[in-house]
Amino acid sequence: MFLHTMSKRGLQYFTLSEIEPRVWFMLTGCNFRCKGCFRPARDGGGTLLTADETLERVEQACLNYYGKVPAEAMITGGEPTLDKVYLLSLLKGLKEKGFEEIVLMTNGYALGEDENYVTELEEAGLTEAHVDLKAFSEDIHRWYTGKSNKPVLRAIEKLNESGIELLVQTIYMPGIVDDAEIEQIARFLASLNKDMRYRINPFAHVFAYEKVTRRPTLEEMERAYEVASKYLPNAIISRSCYREYPTPPPQKTWITVYPDLTVKRRGMKDQAEERLSWLSPVRSESVIGDWKREEWDFKLRHSLLGISEAKKYVAKEEKGSGSGHVKVKFPRALHGLTRTRELELDFDGSTTIEEVLERLVEKYGNEFREKIMDGSEIRRSFNIYLNGMNIKNVQDIKTEVHGNDEIIILSWVSGG
């Protein structure tokens, strides 16, 4: 009990999802010094809290915003595993408060160094882990992070043997961690479990602590995907480590709750200003210019996601699922009209997004059509996702829908 009370971590803030109830913890401090790091949280700061104090604040933040404790929590940073006593206490407390899915985002180093850490995490209630494998080659990993990758590889092995769901992710860095490294990583992961989930993210130099390389091209990302998917059928390409969907939509705003429970809706501009402030002492001559040239390219994002989305859609379509329920989830911007967060529709055989929208118009009237549609097209202020895939990357409103599929309508105003 003494250790439980005294062990403290720096908490920068909580982030609450506007898409559905879900909370992220941003803990500060890190045992790596990645040259291309983009997280100010790595350098410490925040408010020092015990696990109990953290739990009290997150419960209050969720009750204030959602009116309930959500089912899912993400613990990220910084590096969340630095203090095992704090982390285990946090996990146990989250389970006690009713969180059903708890996801840890980690570099894995501490989990490989401590023989019992993974087992204790599982016993405490951890359900899923996302491990960042920076490089497979020891020399590249040491140069980039300042640490050996051997504990990270051991952590992946241990997590794979546990009951914790595992996702491994790597940042593609041209000339550093490119096709050759990706192939070694994919081969290693497949030797443990050929069904392991693997995500490849593109390096974004705009907010990197050091501009060690450039952003990869779409062609390079496509080659990386082809290399990885030879070994791992569950490889995907993404923009960053999001949680909302397997290949998530671009999110424009976040609900940020600080440790004193003050709330702020933050957007890309706020995030940019925070990171510019963090980087200005080391990259003052280039970072502002880089940001103005790059900003947030939605077109690029859709192209990037399309690399792995199209093939996965074809694979699902070939399996087919026939008749059944189709779940439709609505954004906050439509709740005044729909009076519900989600709805189930029955279809006899496969249908299309277009036909689903027509059914929704029948139910909610022309006001629904006017809000969602501009003629025969989806309005620019909305995106529609089928099982996590943007329909723009498939066949738009002609995309086929099958029984047990999930459709999510997102409004940029509400965080999509």
Count of positions (residues) in the chain? 416
Q: Do domains 2-313 and 321-414 have the same CATH topology?
A: no
Alpha-carbon gap, residue 133 to 141, rounded angstroms: 9
If one counts every other C-beta atom within 10 angstroms of the C-beta of residue 44, the result is 13
Check the CA dihedral 159-161-167-168 and report its sign.
positive
What share of the chain has pLDDT > 70, as a percent? 81
Matching residue, tokens 């407390």: 93
Averaged pLDDT score across all residues of the chain: 84
Which region among 74-88, 96-110, 272-286, 377-391 has the lowest average model confidence (pLDDT)?
272-286
Helical H segments across 179-257, by residue range: 179-192, 218-231
**Nearest Cα residue to 313 out of 223, 255, 367, 236:** 236
Alpha-carbon gap, residue 333 to 310, rounded angstroms: 29
Query: Model-level pTM greater than 0.75?
Result: no
- Can you read off the two tokens belonging to residue 389? 């895939």
In terms of C-beta density within 10 A (0-12 exposed, 13-18 middle, 19 or more buried), how is residue 195 classed? exposed
Matching residue, tokens 């081969």: 187
Top-confidence residue, 371 or 412? 371
Average pLDDT for residues 41-70, to the nearest whole number? 94
CATH number 3.10.20.30 is the correct assignment for the domain at 321-414: yes
Is the confidence at residue 231, as pLDDT, over 70? yes
Rg for the chain (alpha carbons), in Å? 22
Q: How far is CA 109 from the centre of its chain?
A: 20
The answer to whether the beta carbons of residues 136 and 185 sit under 8 Å apart is: yes
Top-confidence residue, 38 or 232? 232
Most confident of 53-62, 378-387, 403-412: 53-62
* Residue 383, beta-bridge partner list: 410
If one counts every other C-beta atom within 10 angstroms of the C-beta of residue 399, the result is 22
| Residue 299 vs residues 58, 294, 380: alpha-carbon distances, Å | 35, 12, 12
- Can you read off the two tokens belonging to residue 15? 């982030």
The structural domains of the chain, with segments of one domain joined by +, span 2-313, 321-414
pLDDT at residue 323, rounded to an integer? 61
**Nearest Cα residue to 330 out of 243, 414, 254:** 414
Residue 278's pLDDT band, with cuts at 50, 70 and 90, is confident
pLDDT at residue 204, rounded to an integer? 80
Which region among 57-66, 182-191, 196-205 has the lowest average model confidence (pLDDT)?
196-205
pLDDT at residue 273, rounded to an integer? 73
Is the confidence at residue 241, as pLDDT, over 50? no
pLDDT at residue 294, rounded to an integer? 56
Average pLDDT for residues 387-396, to the nearest whole number? 77
The answer to whether the beta carbons of residues 175 and 212 sit under 8 Å apart is: no
Alpha-carbon gap, residue 175 to 22, rounded angstroms: 37
Average pLDDT for residues 241-251, to the nearest whole number? 42
Is the confidence at residue 277, as pLDDT, over 80? no
pLDDT at residue 222, rounded to an integer? 85
CATH of 2-313, one of 3.40.50.720, 1.20.1050.10, 3.40.50.1000, 3.20.20.70: 3.20.20.70
